[in-house]
Amino acid sequence: MRKVAVAFLMIGALVGTAGCKKLFQKRGDAGAGGFGSSGGAATAQDTADEQMSDKLDEYIKCLNTLSASIGQSRKRYYTYVPKSGPTGKETYADIYKLPAGATTNCSVGVTKARAMPPSNAALEAAGLEFSNAATGVDAMIQEADRYFEEKNFKDDKWAKGKLMHPRIVAAFDRFSKADKGLHDTLDGITKPLAQRTLQRIEREEGQTFRYWRKKSLISGRDLIEAADPAGEDDDIDLALYTAAYTEFEKGLDGLQAYGSLHKVELTNQKTAPSWPLADSHYDSFVHDGTEYKKVAKEFWRCLKEAPAKAKTPSGKLDVEKMGNCGSEPAWKAVDDVIKKYNDFIHTSNNSPFP
């Protein structure tokens, strides 16, 4: 499980297209709102992108609600029960329940999304498996929670716990694969979609506030994925991280440079969609983006100075073998980068300016 708590919110921020009246009405979409001329009629690709953006919403809601919650539940369970299974000597066990109704809502949303255009067999299959796997985990969590809450393991000497354990492990393992499958599928759709969005904004409006904001969000996502790789191979590619950091710095610097000359646009009641808060929202976005950039740069320096023992045969870096980054362990430095990214994305989602 990746450690990024709210990165999934970024997917919605990245896929909204620019220039359509429909888009301008999405004021709560982080990075989708904006202002400027529509720049002409939408192309067939623009229309398809709008439809795909709407279709993705339900899958994103599932991820936002369930991925981290199930990860936390899994971690809680394995805190008290060995992965090999209960020994029978455990005196306490616990497992976190999922938000009430979350798996049902996900199932309903996935059913709705599957019927929405455009058809995408890979996305629909990945979403269905994610929903089904989450439902299976939820059922096991409910059963285990009752067993632990009532402390029935004291009465049966962990007999039921030992029978449940393989099923719990299987349910968590199935979900992990389904979670990665949906993430990978969404990445394959949203990343090129985000780039088309950026190109469309530039084509229709030029390099304005909305262009630089979205560029910062896209490159910020690439940077956190380089810092916290998904999947089994969680070692860090220094070249990839360096390139991602450089692009994020360019995006944020470009936004600030544009803002220094055009910030008055954000105070115009007639054209700024988030008026009268656009001005302060811009400041918050830049502030939290700068905080993210600072810790990301410190971690970049640490990566460049990593000891030889941290280098893997593939040439990547194993954070667990890097020792300290300044006054803290390298793994803690990664957590700091993740936290600042999450703060940045929360601000982005809650503070459109456009």
275-285 per-position pLDDT tens digit: 899 999 999 99
Q: Looking at the domain assignment, is residue 339 inside a domain?
A: yes
Q: Looking at the domain assignment, is residue 230 inside a domain?
A: yes
Among candidate residues 189, 205, 221, the one where a domain is terminated: 205
Same-domain check for residues 170 and 220: no
Same-domain check for residues 265 and 314: yes
Q: Looking at the domain assignment, is residue 213 inside a domain?
A: yes
Kindly report the backbone phi and psi dihedral angles of residue 8, in degrees, each rounded to the nearest multiple of 5, phi listed first: -60, -30
**What pLDDT score does 232 carry?**
65
Q: Looking at the domain assignment, is residue 22 inside a domain?
A: no
Report the candidate in 13, 16, 10 with the shortest Cα–Cα distance to residue 46. 16
Dihedral sign for Cα 32, 38, 39, 40, please.
Answer: positive
Q: Looking at the domain assignment, is residue 165 inside a domain?
A: yes
Domain range for 188: 37-205
**What pLDDT score does 174 carry?**
96
Which residue ranges in the chain fall short of pLDDT 50? 1-2, 4-12, 15-38
Q: Looking at the domain assignment, is residue 27 inside a domain?
A: no
Among candidate residues 186, 205, 224, the one where a domain is terminated: 205
How many domains would you assign to the chain?
2
pTM equals 0.77
**What pLDDT score does 43 carry?**
84
What are the residues facing 298 on neighbouring strands?
none
Among candidate residues 205, 240, 271, the one where a domain is terminated: 205
**What pLDDT score does 32 carry?**
34
* CA–CA distance, 29 with 12 (Å, rounded to integer): 7
The CA-based angle 351-352-354, given to 5 degrees, is: 155
Residue 166 backbone zone (phi > 0: left; psi -120 to 50: alpha; other: beta): alpha
Q: Looking at the domain assignment, is residue 9 inside a domain?
A: no
